[in-house]
Amino acid sequence: MINKKVILTGSFGVGKTSLFHQFIYSRFSDKYLTTIGVKVNRKVIKVNDQDLTIFLWDIAGEVSQDKVPVSYFLGASGIIYVFDLTRPSTYRNINEDLAYLNDLLPDVEVKVVGNKKDLVTQQQIDELLAEISVKDVVITSAKTGENVEELFHMLGEAMINE
Amino acid sequence: MTLEPKIVSQATNDDAQLKRLREILLSDDRQEFDAIRSILDNKDNLKVKVDPIIEDQIEFIQENFPDVFGKQVDKAIEQKITNSPELLLSILSPVLGRLIRKAIAQQLQQLRENIDEQIRKTFSRRGIIGRLKALLFGIKDGDIILSQSTEFEAELKEIYIIQRYSGLLMGSYSTGHAMDRDMIGGMLTAIKSFAEDAIEDEEHQGNEELEMIQYGVYKIYIQNFYNYYIAVVMMGEITTSDREEMADKLIKFAEREIKLAPKHLDSEYINNLSAQLEEYFKKEKND
């Protein structure tokens, strides 16, 4: 069994807590509750026949990443940066945010996630991806659970092989 | 007939001779004066003459500063401090403030505990009964106090060794049924980070750390180390000396047993450290 800390970050209202709940408890709630400070939970997943415990830190959303207390990021082995596919304001500063995270934790695996797939069409997703020019964006829906497990498995593999 | 032109002529001669005499007498002085003037009027010439003297003086002052100016400097500092003590305080307080505050707080806490203890012993029901017993049956005060003292003894419940920033558990020990230890490690670290980040101001940035959390009868004491921290859950009346004793034990254990955590913090490492922790504290208890 290996233990790793993973941070869920991004602007407010992008669905971080919904992804957290979908991953940990396999459930979704329409009720929006803003996260105060940070919430921690864990889940064991199997990666390459090895048990990996992911300690997931769901931190309060901020409009830019340099507003998040640095101490939350420290000690993390993985970061999930979430934006909302339906709200341009949540991915407008994506390159600056990713550059900031890379400066802060250069050796840490970062997964970029476009959430709320259930609210947009494939054409809209393609246009958006062309606009933000960020590679390897994982498109998820916390509501339907689409790609949520896959996201954490991809991250788990990357963290174990690092 | 008039004498006037002769007189004038005589006077002119006298003047010329006097001038001549002056020139003869003062010529050396004049030359010297001109030479001095050429030095004084010309900056470069003056520099050549004066620089070595200034350099010598500077060297002399550097070598003999305390002897030459010590008294004056002492007096000036003394005067400055007397006139504006706030200046000295503002310079020293960031450095010493934390240490002084801690020492004072500790002393006050100890004093408060002593007073509380004394009041409790004197006015508690048991205390009054004890004193009555002592009066009626002639039992010594000391024996009664000894028989009562275990009631307030601090009790160690749980110990967690937690990686400083990740919050991952490195080891733990519990005297009873422990909660979800991994979750405690994570949430405690989150609370610690949140408190330290939310409360700290510019003046104390990076200097202050959460050291204690109180919940009902439980107190969680946190001993911070460089890469990890140790959280101790205790119950009962915990005095400053209890806490200091516990801190000493933790530091001793940390020095002896805790090596840097491996890249992948796995079950084997956690189990080994937990076993060492248990063995150490059981031995300490028996000693």
- Interchain proximity A75–B264, CB inside 8 Å: no
Is A39's Cβ below 8 Å from some Cβ in B? Answer: yes
Of B165, B183, B197, the CB nearest to A42: B183
**Using CA atoms, how far apart are residues A76 and A4, in angstroms rounded to an integer?**
7
pLDDT at A124: 94
User: Tens of pLDDT along B250-273?
Assistant: 888 888 777 666 667 788 888 888
Per-residue HEC secondary structure of chain A comes to CEEEEEEEEECCCCCHHHHHHHHHHCCCCCCCCCCCCEEEEEEEEEECCEEEEEEEEEECCCCCHHHCCHHHHCCCCEEEEEEECCCHHHCCCHHHHHHHHHHHCCCCEEEEEEECHHHCCHHHHHHHHHHHCCCCEEECCCCCCCCHHHHHHHHHHHHHCC
pTM greater than the 0.95 cutoff: no
**Using CA atoms, how far apart are residues B228 and B254, in angstroms rounded to an integer?**
10
pLDDT at B153: 65
pLDDT at A108: 94
pLDDT at A117: 95
Please answer whether residues B183 and B168 qualify as being in contact, where contact means their C-beta atoms are separated by less than 8 angstroms: no
The dihedral through the CA atoms of A13, A14, A18, A20 has a sign that is negative
Q: Which helix (H) or strand (E) holds B235?
A: strand B228-235
User: Tens of pLDDT along A99-111?
Assistant: 999 999 998 999 9
Is A99's Cβ below 8 Å from some Cβ in B? Answer: no
Of B166, B169, B264, the CB nearest to A76: B166
Is B179's Cβ below 8 Å from some Cβ in A? Answer: no
User: Tens of pLDDT along B95-105?
Assistant: 555 566 667 66
The SS3 call for residue B228 is: strand
Average pLDDT over residues B187-196: 86
Residues of A in contact with B265 (CB under 8 A): 2-3
Residues of B in contact with A76 (CB under 8 A): 165-166
Average pLDDT for chain A? 90
Which candidate, A9, A137, A161, A136, places its Cα nearest to that of A80? A9
What percent of chain A shows pLDDT beyond 70?
99
**Using CA atoms, how far apart are residues B126 and B132, in angstroms rounded to an integer?**
10
Residues of B in contact with A69 (CB under 8 A): 193-194, 197
ipTM of the complex: 0.76
Residues of A in contact with B267 (CB under 8 A): 1
Is A69's Cβ below 8 Å from some Cβ in B? Answer: yes
Which residue's entry shows tokens 């979704």?
A28
Average pLDDT for chain B? 77
Is B194's Cβ below 8 Å from some Cβ in A? Answer: yes
**Using CA atoms, how far apart are residues A2 and A157, in angstroms rounded to an integer?**
12
Which candidate, A88, A90, A62, A85, places its Cα nearest to that of A137? A85
Of B163, B182, B266, the CB nearest to A75: B163
B195, pLDDT greater than 90: no
Measured in angstroms, the CA of A6 and the nearest CA of chain B are apart by 9
Measured in angstroms, the CA of B194 and the nearest CA of chain A are apart by 6
**B207 — pLDDT class (breaks 50, 70, 90):** low
Average pLDDT over residues B133-161: 66
Extract the tokens encoding B159. Answer: 């110990």
Is B209's Cβ below 8 Å from some Cβ in A? Answer: no
**A83 — pLDDT class (breaks 50, 70, 90):** very high
Most confident of A82-96, B28-42, B110-124, B146-160: A82-96
Is A44's Cβ below 8 Å from some Cβ in B? Answer: no
pLDDT at A8: 94
